[in-house]
Amino acid sequence: MKAEIEILHPGLFSTIQDFGRRGFQKYGVPLSGVMDRIALKTANLILQNQADAAVMEITQMGPKLKFSAATKIAISGANLSPKLNDTEIDNNEVVKIHEGDILSFGRPEYGMRSYLAILDGFKTEKVLGSRSWYEDITSHEKLEKGMKLQYEASEEEKYETHAAIKFDEEYLNSQEIEVFPGPEYEKLPETLKSHLRQSKFSIDKNNNRMAIQLSEILENELEPIITGPVLPGTIQLTPGGKLIVLMRDCQTTGGYPRVLQLSEKGINMMAQKKAGDKIRFKSPPTPKGGEALS
Amino acid sequence: MNDFPKITPMGERGILIEFEPEISEKLLRKLLFYKDKLEEFYDEVNIEVINTYNSLLISYMFSIENVYNEVSAIKELFGEAKIGKINNQQIFHLPVCYEVEFGWDLEYISNEKNLSKEEIIQLHTKPFYTVFFTGFLPGFLYLGGLDKKLQISRRNQPRMKIEKGAVGIGENQTGIYPKSSPGGWQILGNCPVQFFDKNNDPPCEISAGDKVKFYSVSKKEFEEISEQISEGTFQLKKENYEG
């Protein structure tokens, strides 16, 4: 049976995301996809969904949603104090939804982005192989008031009541972000290299799904490069001396020196950082063929 | 011996292959040849290869298990290469309306470069520009071949909003904004053709290795073409190109 979620209040910035859009980078199309893949996998796993079923990515201030029929949901990633009707619910657990239930969010407890998975995933339009929302590619860019999202209602017990899975919250709070040297790292002067290894950096308020700026200004004498490929997790050093961490919606090419590259886990960790949070870069313990920062 | 190509991991899911830091058609031929080889060698489901002026990036769907194996496989693949022509090259003829209404900076360029508007249009429509790659935004073509006489620095203050289709120049580059966006290029005119349509397969008809030639159209022709485009009846002028 077709059912729908009505958006009573859109919150700050919520989108539908899956693992992203592959195969179209050569046309300049960003990869997109969930900012935090660990949380997406966890939420889907709890519901026994397909690993890449589309979820709702919720940033800092959650929306208010009304369900038209029974289903099950699970929330992972940041804790934004979710409430079903008037009862507080926990992250990383199966939550049963009944007709007319209202899901809302409150005060952000920890983390930046929360992930709402629904049984079988959100069935929004698929464009170029993905349901990830991105301006001009999909019809929608973010949740809007009054919008309706389709899902498949389910009364049946697909499985016995499920124990909450163990969720390692460490990555949500840790300041240590794993990085590899980027293509232009070797061109940096020694003083700057050691600064990158030893200093703490803070997350600027200028941050979104495309990129996260760090507040500190470094002395930069590197020349711009001939426009080259960039990926989510590429850290560029701008002529003004700012570090810009490219995230999932980043452009496909860029002309600033690429000084560092986050590990996969590092990208997920960065996705959970909010303005004012501090981070420190470190080399992974056993680089998989990648060189350590020297 | 030179040190190129330089093959290094870029994170856990990428391998970057960098060639000489230059922008040339010869290097583009080499990149596209190797790109084909890589796509042939790997299962395309698991990797994606993009090229820029002097780099190839292989991005993997999963984390790379053993970088050393990958790098040596790539080296072997490159060793046996005899660079051929670029396959299936096409020339696309693109209409541009250079009327002042669209050519916001024509007068500025005219004064700076001591060229009449007619000379600017003539210089801009003469070359067969080479498409080096599509990047940055969906459908943004990186074009090479701008006449030296037209090379001009970007605006000191970027504009907050440049119209979709705006044709501009900045330093040695020329190009078309595929969507409204902020930008610092000097604007010469507007091209009504859409370069990216998510409903088409492929979504972008023009690709690396192709050629682009601009032709000047009047405001009236521009409007006619725009209407044909919205009705879906516009035929883009293209022909095969023997490189």
Closest alpha carbon within chain A to B56: A229
Partner residue facing B12 (CB), from A28, A227, A264: A264
Q: Which candidate in A27, A125, A252 is best for mutational testing of the B interface (most B CBs within 10 A)?
A: A27
ipTM of the complex: 0.91
- Number of helices (H) and strands (E) in chain B: give both, helices first: 5, 14
Average pLDDT for chain A: 92
Output the CATH code of domain B89-241.
2.40.100.10
Statement: residue A276 has pLDDT above 60: yes
Which comes out higher in pLDDT, residue A71 or B183? A71
Question: Which range (A96-110, A139-153, B33-47) has the least confidence?
Answer: B33-47
Chain A residues 128-157 with CB within 8 Å of chain B: 128, 136-137
pTM: 0.93
pLDDT at B140: 94
Lowest mean pLDDT among A147-161, B21-35, B147-161: A147-161
What is the reported pLDDT for A54?
A: 98
What CA–CA distances, in Å, run from B241 to B24, B49, B90, B93, B193? 18, 24, 5, 12, 20
Contact A50, A88 (CB under 8 A): no
Q: Which class does domain B6-80 fall in?
A: alpha beta
Collapse the DSSP code of B225 into the 3-class scheme (helix H, G, I; strand E, B; otherwise coil) and give the result: helix
Q: What average pLDDT is seen over chain B?
A: 92
Digit-coded pLDDT (tens) for A50-81 = 999 999 999 999 999 999 999 999 999 999 99
Is the distance from CB of B213 to CB of B129 less than 8 angstroms?
yes
Domain at A174-282: CATH code: 2.40.100.10
Q: Which pLDDT does position B1 carry in this prediction? A: 46
B52 touches B133 (CB < 8 A): yes
Domain ranges of chain A: 2-152, 174-282
- Residue A66 host element (H or E): strand A64-67
CB B209 within 8 A of CB B83: no
C-alpha closest to that of A90 among A162, A178, A14: A162
CB contact under 8 A, A253 and B133: yes
Identical fold between B6-80 and B89-241: no
Q: Delimit the domains of chain B by residue range.
A: 6-80, 89-241
Show residues of chain B in contact with A235, CB under 8 Å.
none
